[in-house]
Chain A
Amino acid sequence: MNIHEYQAKGILKSFGVGIQEGIVAKTPEEAVEAAKQLTEQTGTEWYVVKAQIHAGGRGKGTIKETGAHGVVLAKGIDKVADIVKSIVGGVLVTKQTGEDGKKVNQILVAQDVYYPGEVETEEFYMSVLLNRQTGRNIIMYSTEGGMDIETVAEKTPELIYKEEVDPKVGLQGFQARKIAFNLGLSGNAFKEMTKFVTSLYNAYVGIDASMFEINPVLKTSDNKIIAVDAKVNLDDNALFRHKDYAAMLDESEEDAAELEAAKHDLSFVKLDGNVGCMVNGAGLAMATMDIIKLSGGDPANFLDVGGAANAVTVEAGFRIILKDPNVKAILLNIFGGIVRCDRVAAGVVEAVKSIGDINIPVIVRLQGTNAEEGKKIIDDSGLKVNSAITLQDAANLVKELV
C-alpha cells in the first residue's frame, strides 16, 4: 500500500527520524494558516508548497491547468495563497503519472530547509528494502542525492552502497557508522546521520514496510540530517497488525476499478488493451494475458478471481471489465481443480443472464474437473458465448474474434 509524503513523514517522525516539518492543507486559507503555524514552530519564513499525489517527479511535473510545478518555493507568507491556488484542484502530470496525470486534492506546506548557514548543504539518497536473493533487508544509499537513483545506478554504480542487516541482531552501530563514513560525514553531521539511519531502520521494521525511499536526505547548513521527501510502501500482508496505517489509504489515488475489484476479493490490474480476461490463479492469469497478446490482441487487464469462481464473483468480474470501453472481447479462463467446471459454467450462464446484453464476444475456456460437462452447459445455454477446452482452442478463438 502506498501512502502520501505527509503521512510517511508523520510516521517517520514518530520513530525519531529527522524530517522537513510540514502541515497538510486543502485550501489556500488552510495553507496560509499552516504557514503561520510552521513559522512559530520552526522559525522558517520561506515555505515549500508540495502537491500530495502518489507519484514521483513532482518538482519537474506541471499542473495541466496552470502550468505551475508540483513543488514550489514560496519566498514569504504573502506568496503562499497564490501558489496553492495554482496547484490544488489541478491535474499534475509527472514522468511517473502518464499523460492523464493525477488530481491534486491536498498540498503539504513545508519549512524551507535549504537556508544558508555555517556549512554547505549536501543531498544524499537512502532506501530500505528487501534483498530477495538473501531474504534480508538492505539499506541502499548514495552520495548522489536528489536525482533519479536509476540514472545513478546506470552512470555511476560505484557511488551506490548497500548495507545488509542480519535479522538475528538487527541493524548494528558499526553499520550505521559505516554508512555515515561512506557518505563523507564528520563531527555533528556524522552523529546525526547514525541516529537518522538507526531510527529509519527501526521505523521500517516497526511498521512492516516493504519499501522506504528517502530522496533526498539532507545535511542542512547547520549540520542536521533530515528527510526532505519520503516514499513509504507498506506490506499489504501485514496491514492486519497496523489498522491505523491501513486507514491511511487514500481511495482517490487508487484506480476505481481496482478498488471495486478489491471489495469483491478479486485481484485486478487495469491495462490498456482490448481483450478483457478473468482467470483463476495469478500465474495462469498472467499466462492468459500472454496468450491474448500472442493471438493478436492486447490484454485489457489482469484479473484473478481466486479459488471461488462462482456466479457472484464472475458477475462482479464481468461488470468491472465491461466498464472499460476499449474492451472488444472477454476471455474467461478457468482451470478447475477443487472448483468444478460445471459449477463455474452454471455461474457464468447466471452472470451473463443477469448482466443482460453483453454485446461483445465472450470466450469461456474451462479445463480440469468436469470440463466437458461445463462446456455442454455453456453450449446449451443459448447464450452467445464461445466455449473452448484447450488453451490453444481459446487462443484460436481470440485470434478469430479480435
Chain B
Amino acid sequence: MSILVNKDSRVVVQGFTGGEGTFHATQMIEYGTNVVGGVTPGKGGQEHLGKPVFNTVADAVAKAQANTSIIFVPPPFAADAIMEAADAGIKVIVAITEGIPTADMVKVKEYLSDKDCRMIGPNCPGIITPGEAKIGIMPAFIFKEGRIGVISKSGTLTYEAVDQLTKAGLGQSTAIGIGGDPIIGTSTKDAVQLFMEDPDTDGIVMIGEIGGSMEAEAAEWIKENGTKPVVGFIAGQTAPKGKRMGHAGAIIGGANDTAAAKMKIMRECGIHVVESPAEIGAKMKEVLG
C-alpha cells in the first residue's frame, strides 16, 4: 500500500516530447510506471517512446484513461497545463516545473479549489511508491519498498534522507516531494494526514525548511491526531533573515519562519526532531525500536 500513486496509476506526461519530458518519461517507463501517453499540443497522433501523443489532456483521459499527470512544461505555460489537467478530470497532478510566477499559482490554487483533484508541487521532485510507480525525477535506485512515509520540500535532501533510511534497512511506502514554492498543492499537513491514514505506513519522516508555517501546522495536527512516530528535520538553521535561499519560498520574514521556531514547535508536538541531517535514518531506526 501507499499514498496517492501506485501500480494502477495511469500516467500522462505533459510536455512529453521536450528534452526534460523525454528524459524523465524514459526513466519512469524503465522503472515500470504505467505511462499511458503524453501531451504535446499540435503533435497529437504521433508516437513517442512507444506511447501515444495527444493534443490535449482531455484526449489522454478519454482515449487512454489517464488519471495521473506529470508536468514538465516550461514556467510561462505551466499554470495553464495544471489547469488543463484539472479540467480534464485528472486526479493527481504532479507539477515538476520550477520558476512559475506566484501570481499564476494564486490563480491555479483558486481554480483547483472546487475540483476533485490533488496537486503535488510545483517546483518538486515528484512522488514515488517504490516497486510500483515513480512519477518524478528522483533516482530510482536509492528507494526500497517498505513502510516509512517520507515528506520533503526539496529534491536532493529527500534523496539524502531516503538513502539513509534504505541503508538503515528501512524501506519507504511512498516518498513525496511537496515543493519549495510559496504556493503548493499538497501541504506538509496534507501529506502527514495521508500517511497517518495509510495502514501500510509505520513511521513518517518530515523534512521542512525555513519560510512559511506549514511545518508548524503539520506539527499541531500531529499533536492532536498523530498515531505513528514522526522524525523531523528543518533545513536552514544557519540561514540569515530576509535572504531567499534558492527555493522561492525559503525566506525568513518573521520570527515564526526560522528553523529554530519550527523545530521548537515540532518538539513540543511530540515529533522526534534531529538537529543534524546526517541523523535522519538512524533516528527513525531508533524510534521504531
Contact = CB atoms under 8 A, between A and B. Distances in A.
Contacts of B236: 286, 289-290
B238 A289 contact: yes
Contact of A283 (B109, B209, B240): B209
A43 interface: no
A284 B155 CA distance: 8
Interface in B40-54: none
A302 B75 contact: no
B182 A281 contact: no
Interface in B264-287: 275-278
Contacts of B244: 269
Kindly name the residue among B154, B209, B275 whose own CB sees the greatest number of chain A CB atoms within 10 A. Answer: B154
Interface string A329-349: 000000111100000000000
B276 to A, nearest CB: 5
A229 B213 CA distance: 30
A135 B113 CA distance: 11
A282 B154 contact: yes
Given A285-B245, A338-B139, A302 B239 contact: yes
Interface stretch (B3-11, B157-165, B191-199): B157-165
Given A271-B238, A280-B156, A285-B245, A369 B103 contact: no
A30 B29 CA distance: 66
A337 B235 contact: no
B163 A367 contact: yes
A202 B138 CA distance: 40
A287 B277 contact: yes
Given A281-B155, A281-B157, A335-B160, A237 B99 contact: yes
Nearest to B255: A150
A238 B101 contact: yes
A390 interface: yes
Interface in A266-324: 267, 269, 271, 273, 279-294, 298-299, 302, 304
A111 B76 CA distance: 40
A372 B107 CA distance: 46
Contacts of B135: none
Contact of B76 (A241, A267, A392): A241
Contact of A132 (B154, B209, B212): B212
Contacts of A392: 276, 278
A283 B152 contact: yes
Contacts of A273: 238
A368 interface: yes
Given A338-B137, A338-B139, A282 B245 contact: yes
B276 A291 contact: yes
Interface in B187-215: 207, 209-210, 212-213
B261 interface: no
A174 interface: no
Contact of A289 (B183, B233, B239, B249): B239
Interface residues of B, number: 59
B180 A367 contact: no
Q: Interface range on chain A: under 10, 10 to 19, 20 to 34, or 35 or more?
A: 35 or more
Contacts of A335: 156, 159-160, 163
A391 B163 CA distance: 11
Interface string B104-132: 11110110000000000000000000000
Given A286-B235, A286-B236, A391 B156 contact: no
A219 B77 CA distance: 42
Interface string B142-177: 100000000011111111100110000000000000
A135 to B, nearest CB: 4
A63 to B, nearest CB: 23
B110 A167 contact: yes
A189 interface: no
B160 A367 contact: yes
B246 A287 contact: no
Contacts of B157: 281, 283-284, 286-287
Contacts of A241: 76, 101
Given A283-B156, A337-B156, A391-B278, A369 B141 contact: yes
Kindly name the residue among B138, B142, B180, B213 whose own CB sees the greatest number of chain A CB atoms within 10 A. Answer: B142
Nearest to B142: A368
A135 B106 contact: yes
Nearest to A298: B238
B88 interface: no
B250 interface: yes
B228 interface: no
Contact of B278 (A137, A205, A235, A390): A390
B248 interface: yes
A283 B235 contact: yes
A395 interface: yes
Interface of B: 23, 75-76, 99-107, 109-110, 137-139, 141-142, 152-160, 163-164, 180, 182-183, 207, 209-210, 212-213, 217, 233, 235-240, 243-250, 259, 275-278
7 contacts: A167-B110, A208-B103, A271-B240, A282-B154, A287-B277, A335-B160, A368-B163
Given A205-B103, A285-B246, 8 more contacts: A237-B99, A269-B243, A281-B155, A284-B154, A289-B237, A302-B246, A337-B137, A369-B139
